[in-house]
């Protein structure tokens, strides 16, 4: 078994308007199959991916937000949200559909520094 | 005229450009732009300021998709797809701020 690497997925886009959020989720699930140390971070408009209550019937698009709740079933438990990004959007932890760790922008930077591989979406 | 915005105001300058230029008429927020018209968003203030000279609309299905169906900013009107068509038909011309 080769050495476990630290993978970080950086999510900065809102869902539905572009394909980035869904594509990130797909790659995260693939990575989970390789038993690596995976962290997901949500900053800027990426925090919108975790907003509770998404109802996509009206835009005839698949609502993929329930998949974030299934991530712990794939041993992906490290979810981080940047505090400043959340506040700029009038959101709090109660508005999010999963439990996350809230980080300041400085803490986010430190966490990013510690990674072996950073993938940006 | 009708101004249509489809990008988030927090990551793209389209809404700012539109508000800088538009002196009157209708502004319709669709897709990722709908978050501009949600309570608590830092952009809410400048949108409210623009409401003094323009009428602001938001496409309700896009608001619902993003989980903000119950957080529409006061003074903004919501429209469905039929309303979107009516806005394009009732205005002399329109500009999509891509």
Residue of B nearest to A88 (CA): B42
Which of the residues A14, A42, A98 would you substitute to probe the B interface, choosing the one with the greatest number of B C-beta atoms within 10 Å? A14
Q: Does A61 touch chain B if contact means CB atoms closer than 8 Å?
A: yes
pTM of the model: 0.93
Mean per-residue pLDDT, A4-19: 96
Contact (CB, 8 A) for A115 and A7 = yes
A51, A57, A88 member nearest B66 (Cβ): A51
pLDDT of residue A1: 55
Would you give the distance in Å from CA B9 to the centre of its chain? 10
Residue of A nearest to B64 (CA): A55
Chain B CB contacts of A83 below 8 Å: none
B8, B40, B68 member nearest A45 (Cβ): B8
Q: Counting runs of H as helices and runs of E as strands, what totals does chain A give?
A: 4, 5
Q: Which residues contact B74 (CB under 8 A, 6 or more apart)?
A: none
Chain A CB contacts of B40 below 8 Å: 89-91
Domains and CATH numbers, chain A: 6-120 (3.40.1260.10)
Quick: pLDDT tens for A26-82: 999 999 889 999 999 999 999 999 999 999 999 999 999 999 999 999 999 999 999
Question: Alpha-carbon distance A23 to A19, whole Å?
Answer: 6
Q: Does A54 touch chain B if contact means CB atoms closer than 8 Å?
A: yes
How many residue pairs from chains A and B have C-beta atoms closer than 8 A? 79
Q: Do A14 and B35 touch (CB under 8 A)?
A: yes
- Closest-CA residue to B17 (of B39, B36, B38, B40): B36
Which of the 8 DSSP states describes residue B38? B
pLDDT of residue B55: 98
Whether the predicted pLDDT of A2 surpasses 80: no
Find tokens 């690497």 and name the residue. A5
pLDDT of residue A3: 86
Which of the residues B66, B72, B73, B78 would you substitute to probe the A interface, choosing the one with the greatest number of A C-beta atoms within 10 Å? B66
Contact (CB, 8 A) for A62 and B65 = no
A2 to chain B, closest Cα gap in Å = 39
Per the CATH hierarchy, to which homologous superfamily does domain B2-97 belong?
DsrEFH-like (3.40.1260.10)
| pLDDT < 70 stretches in chain B | none
| CB count in 10 Å sphere of residue A80 | 18
């Amino acid at each position: 078994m080769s050495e476990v690497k630290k993978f970080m997925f950086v999510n900065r886009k809102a869902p539905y308007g572009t394909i980035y959020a869904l594509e990130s989720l797909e790659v995260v699930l693939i990575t989970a199959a390789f038993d690596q140390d995976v962290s997901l971070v949500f900053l800027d408009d990426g925090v919108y991916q975790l907003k509770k209550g998404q109802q996509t019937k009206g835009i005839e698009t698949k609502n993929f937000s329930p998949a974030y709740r299934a991530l712990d079933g794939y041993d992906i438990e490290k979810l981080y949200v940047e505090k400043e990004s959340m506040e700029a959007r009038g959101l709090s932890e109660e508005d999010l559909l999963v439990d996350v760790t809230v980080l300041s922008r400085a803490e986010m930077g430190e966490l990013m520094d510690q990674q072996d591989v950073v993938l940006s979406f | 005229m009708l101004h249509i915005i489809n990008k988030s105001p927090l990551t793209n300058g389209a809404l700012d450009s539109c508000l800088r230029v538009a002196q009157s008429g209708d502004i319709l927020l669709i897709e990722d732009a709908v978050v501009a018209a949600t309570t608590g968003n830092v952009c809410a203030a400048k949108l409210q300021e623009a409401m003094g000279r323009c009428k602001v609309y938001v496409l309700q299905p896009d608001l619902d998709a993003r989980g903000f169906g119950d957080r529409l900013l006061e003074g903004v009107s919501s429209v469905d797809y039929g309303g979107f068509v009516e806005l394009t038909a009732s205005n002399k011309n329109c500009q999509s701020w891509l």
